[in-house]
Every structure is written in C-alpha cells, then in structure tokens.
C-alpha cells in the first residue's frame, strides 16, 4: 500500500497548482490522472494577466518551445450582427495550447505523479481514503473536471443545476491556410447567441486555429453548433476542410452550482467544484485560484481534515466569488423576443462591449488579487514540513 499526505485526483491547472503550493510547504503530494501528459486537451485556451499573476508564470520561460500568442484586441458580435473590434493597445491575454500549458504546470509542481491511471475505486477506511486499493491518504483533492470521481463521491445523486456543453476543434493550419486565415492571432473572434445562452469563438494560436461553440445544455446545442460552423464558413473564417466531428466537454457555472465542495477528508477545485464564470464560461482562472485557495485551507487545517477543519476553504470561495444563486432560464424573466433584442442591441455599442463584456466579464479587470484573501504564500514559501515516507 502506497501512502501520501495528499492525493490530488486530476493533473490539470487546478490540481497542479494546488499540488505545487503544498509541495512548496514541504508536503508529500501524489497527483493521479487517467491521462499521460502531454495529453490532448482541446480548449479555446487563452489566459489573462490575472492567471499569469496567480501562477507566478515566467512568460519568457514558458514561451521557450511553446505556443504563446499575445492578445491585444477582440472582435465581437451577435450572431449575424455588426462586428466590433475592440483594441486595447497592450497585452490583455495570451493564447496557449492546453496540452503544452497543462504539461508545463504539472512538471513544475514537484509532486509525485501516477499517470495513465484512472481512479476506479475510492473508499473510506476510518479517517483514511483508499484509492484504487493501492494508495492510502488522509486527504483527497478532487481536480478531475466535471466528471471527477471525487466530485461524484461527494455529490451522489444530487441535482447540481444546469450544465454548459461545448464542442470544439483545434487544427494545425498549412502554410497556405495560415496566409489566408482571416482570424488574427492578436484578436480572437467571439460571436454571441442573441438569447444570451452561449457563444462561439475562433482563436488563432500561431500555426493552430481553435474553433468552438458552447451554451447552456439544451436540445438546440447540436443544431446551433452546426449552424455556427456554416456561419463561419460563409465568412471565410475557417478552412473548408475543418473536421466535422468536434470534441465535446461539459462544466458547471459557479452562479448555479450546487455541488458540495468540502467534506471529511476531501476538497473539490476547478471544474470539479463547478467554478466556471457565469458569463464567459472561463475556468482556467478559477481553477488556478481555487487550487491556491485549497492549498491555503489545507495548510491552515493543520492536519484536521474533518469538514469543520476544512471549512475555511468554503469561506474563501464565497469571499472570492460570492454565493452561488440559481441561474434563471430567461434573464430577468423577460419575454424571449425582448431578451434577444436587448442582447443584440448591447453588443452593437462600443462602450458596453469594452467595459462590460470584455473588461469585466471576460478579462476580469479590476478584480482584487488573491493576496487580499490571504491565499498566497510568501515568495520564499512557508517553512518546509518533514516529508512523509512514501510507503
């Protein structure tokens, strides 16, 4: 039986960030993931300066041998509406490839890794968790995304609210396609559904193009995704031979999530906790921040891994993101025609597009840094703890 002080289930940004902070505090951390890294992870994939700051990311080091496209503008419109280009004149985000980004963060975490190993069993034995009948730990951190086995264990049969479903594809462009591509690397393109239930995107990442569509899951998703692809082809924004089959994934929005994120000997972070932002659906920033907040709460618990001892984490999430509230099917309970008209009208105005849609909802500018929540360790890191035997 192998042993670890902490087992993190999932090696994405949430899990690797949590693992890194715990390792810097001297704890023995084992990250378990069903995939082998670098893994194929399709994602619109841009990170804001807030993500860079929360990770303490050295952009020059990261860019060495990896894709890092500087974003200085966005092109936005309602589906079929007039397009607006909003230029900021400075870097406001960075387009990355998730397979590179996740691998980089996991490698620098310093944690022990058990990759290519899905969690097929998880049971309590006294105050310990037994993972796959081979690993024993007093605390598991669920970081395995929407379908995380730790999240299912903490929320069996619960009604957890609406789900966002997305379909996307990322392709390498030929030299001719790169020259003809009408999506500028420094200006991703966002097209919004008039009913405000979703949007589609085109993000250029050097020689790669990511195209996707996501909305609150309903019967219209597949049809709207096909219609979006046709819309992009009419505008010559995507290659004619773009693969017709796209990858799918799902996640929950924090505004509507009812997931239990804390229990005896267990915490959930990132998409496993249902923390994506309500308007943008962005989950990288909340993944990184929740990983850091979870590490802070674990260290503050001082080995008291009861739900009461870990409840500090729930308080940190509430202070950072507010309390979840049910997401209404129709905003403000207005008639669908009025919602459609208002959404299209607002997206035609430059002030709303810049200051509300982009700066506030997508770029999270003006948000207080994590230090104000006491969530960041000193630059030198806490005093190291004695390292546990691996068993």
- 140-142/198-205 β-pairing: unpaired
Confidence of residue 390 (pLDDT cuts 50, 70, 90): very low
Task: Please check whether residue 189 lies inside any domain of the structure.
Answer: no
Task: Please check whether residue 175 lies inside any domain of the structure.
Answer: no
* Rounded distance between C-alpha atoms, residue 382 and residue 24, angstroms: 7
Say which residue, 305 or 241, is predicted with more confidence: 305
Task: Please check whether residue 170 lies inside any domain of the structure.
Answer: no
Q: Which tokens go with 254?
A: 């924090």
Give the other-Cβ count within 10 Å of 376's Cβ. Answer: 18
Mean pLDDT on 47-51: 94
pLDDT at 377 over 60: no
Task: Please check whether residue 178 lies inside any domain of the structure.
Answer: no
Q: What is the per-residue pLDDT for 165?
A: 86
Q: Which tokens go with 282?
A: 């962005």
Query: Considering its fold, how many domains does the chain have in total?
Result: 1
Residue 97, domain extent: 2-68+92-161+254-328+368-373
pTM metric for this prediction: 0.88
Task: Please check whether residue 379 lies inside any domain of the structure.
Answer: no
Reported as a single tens digit per residue, the pLDDT across 336-375 is: 544 555 566 778 889 999 998 999 989 988 888 777 665 4
Task: Please check whether residue 390 lies inside any domain of the structure.
Answer: no
Task: Please check whether residue 334 lies inside any domain of the structure.
Answer: no
CATH number at residue 279: 3.50.50.60
Q: Are 16 and 105 in contact (CB under 8 A)?
A: yes
* Rounded distance between C-alpha atoms, residue 222 and residue 240, angstroms: 19
Task: Please check whether residue 73 lies inside any domain of the structure.
Answer: no
Q: Which tokens go with 256?
A: 């509507």
pLDDT at 27 over 50: yes
In this structure, the dihedral spanned by the alpha carbons of residues 275, 277, 280 and 284, taken in order and rounded to 10 degrees, is: -50
Cα radius of gyration rounded to whole Å, the chain = 21
* Rounded distance between C-alpha atoms, residue 206 and residue 386, angstroms: 45
- Mean pLDDT rounded to a whole number for the chain: 86
């Amino acid at each position: 039986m192998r042993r670890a002080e902490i087992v993190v289930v999932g090696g994405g940004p949430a899990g690797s960030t949590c693992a890194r902070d715990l390792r810097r505090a001297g704890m023995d951390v084992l990250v378990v993931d069903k995939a082998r890294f670098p893994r194929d992870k399709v994602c619109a994939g841009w990170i804001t300066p807030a993500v860079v700051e929360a990770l303490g990311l050295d952009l020059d080091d990261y860019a060495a041998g990896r894709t890092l496209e500087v974003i200085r503008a966005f092109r936005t419109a309602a589906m079929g509406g007039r397009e607006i280009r909003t230029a900021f004149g400075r870097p406001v985000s960075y387009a990355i490839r998730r397979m590179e980004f996740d691998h980089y963060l996991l490698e620098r975490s310093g944690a022990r890794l058990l990759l290519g190993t899905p969690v097929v069993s998880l049971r309590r034995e006294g105050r310990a968790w037994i993972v796959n009948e081979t690993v024993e730990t007093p605390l598991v951190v669920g970081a395995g995304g929407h379908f995380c086995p730790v999240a299912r264990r903490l929320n069996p049969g619960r009604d957890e609210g609406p789900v966002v479903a997305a379909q996307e594809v990322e392709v390498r462009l030929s030299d001719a396609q790169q020259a003809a591509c009408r999506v500028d690397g420094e200006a991703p393109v966002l097209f919004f559904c008039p009913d405000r239930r979703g949007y589609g995107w085109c993000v250029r990442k050097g020689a790669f193009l990511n195209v996707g569509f996501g909305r609150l899951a309903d019967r219209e998703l597949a049809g709207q995704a096909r219609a979006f692809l046709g819309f992009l082809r009419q505008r010559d924004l995507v290659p004619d031979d773009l693969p017709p089959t796209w990858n799918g994934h799902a996640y929950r929005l924090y505004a509507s999530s009812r997931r239990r994120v804390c229990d005896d000997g267990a915490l959930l972070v990132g998409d496993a906790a249902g923390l994506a932002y309500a308007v943008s659906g962005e989950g990288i920033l909340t993944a990184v921040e929740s990983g850091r907040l979870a590490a802070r709460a674990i260290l503050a618990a001082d080995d008291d891994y009861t739900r009461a001892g870990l409840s500090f984490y729930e308080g940190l999430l509430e202070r950072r993101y507010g309390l979840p509230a049910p997401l209404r099917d129709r905003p403000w309970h207005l008639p669908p025609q009025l919602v459609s008209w208002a959404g299209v009208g607002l997206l035609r105005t430059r002030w709303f597009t810049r200051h509300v849609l982009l700066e506030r909802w997508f770029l999270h500018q003006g948000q207080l840094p994590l230090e104000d929540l006491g969530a960041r360790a000193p630059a030198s890191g806490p005093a190291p703890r004695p390292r546990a035997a691996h068993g």
